[in-house]
Amino acid sequence: MAPYRIATLDVFTSQRFTGNQLGLVHVPKDSPLSQEVKQAIAKEFNYSETVFLHEDTGAKEGRRLDIFTPYDELPFAGHPTIGALCYIAQEERKAELSSSTPLEILLSLKAGTVKATYNTSTRAAAAQVPHDVHIHSQPLPAEEFLAGQRDLRQADSGNELRKSFEAVSIVKGMTFIMGELPTLEYLGEVTVPMEAPRLTLDAPWNKGLAGCMFYTEVGKEGNLTKCRTRMVESKIGEDAATGSASCALGAYLALTKGEAGGQCRYDFEQGVEMGRRSMIRVEVKLDTSGKGIESVVLAGEAVVVMKGEMDV
């Protein structure tokens, strides 16, 4: 079989060699590529995620996109989704980039259909994220959550840290513990835990990835909240930009601090401590009760870094 077209992108940035790296494999129609081989390819790339962009068949549910870490397949992840959208616009629909009208793109993920636009002026993609947001009923005690954070515990001489931390799922299979920290100095002490915290999650959200999303609020302008964030997980390590965790954090902040029927906007700056600064925008619309979420929109830029071919 002919080689597969591949590319790498830096996501949630407009500057190459910053943001979060993404591997992309173009999968032709009728390709025999199995999910097991896709998993092996993702391990070969060894990025936090690799996507498999299937050829457009005109299906009403959108273009199939499979997302893999080096260890597992994911139902949804933010930076792979934004990266794939930017790749489609910049590489496959170049002729339309001169138009001022945003490009409309439809993707089919395991978590559901993603409706998206690509702004030809700002070169940013915005995706309506499939969501099934759930704040779990049992918060994690601080002693358990911070068991793998020795430097953070030692820095807490003034006993400023919270006594418990809540876990939030953005969809089934994608859960993050919300680690609010009082200052950027505390945020700088975060390390990758050797083991994942022992979580008790509500069914049916009690499966899949569970990461730690640490954050510090650094500013507020009207309905725009700005935070610095760090996402760490025992297998993945530290991630330079985590769209799914950012969506979960935005949903959590909106549900706990937003007004019923309100539109909440968030700018999350991530990857600074890794030298791969990323900028992530999340917008959350609450329903009229303030207890549910109508929509979650994830937005950001991406740039292609390398292109080539791969034999399988």
Check if 49 is active-site. Answer: yes
Q: How many CB atoms lie within 10 A of CB 30?
A: 6
| Type of residue at 308 | G
CB 21 within 8 A of CB 47: yes
- CA within 13 Å, CB half, 144: 14
SS3 for 234? coil
Residues 256, 264: Cα–Cα separation, whole Å: 11
Q: Is 291 exposed, middle or buried (0-12, 13-18, 19+ CB in 10 A)?
A: exposed
Q: Cα–chain-centroid distance for residue 35? A: 22
Please identify which of the residues 36, 44, 49, 185 carries the catalytic annotation. Answer: 49
Backbone φ, ψ for residue 142 (5° rounding): -60, -40
Dihedral sign for Cα 22, 310, 92, 28, please.
Answer: negative
Backbone φ, ψ for residue 178 (5° rounding): -90, 100
Q: Give me Rg for the CA atoms of the chain.
A: 19
CB 67 within 8 A of CB 112: no
Active site amino acids = 49
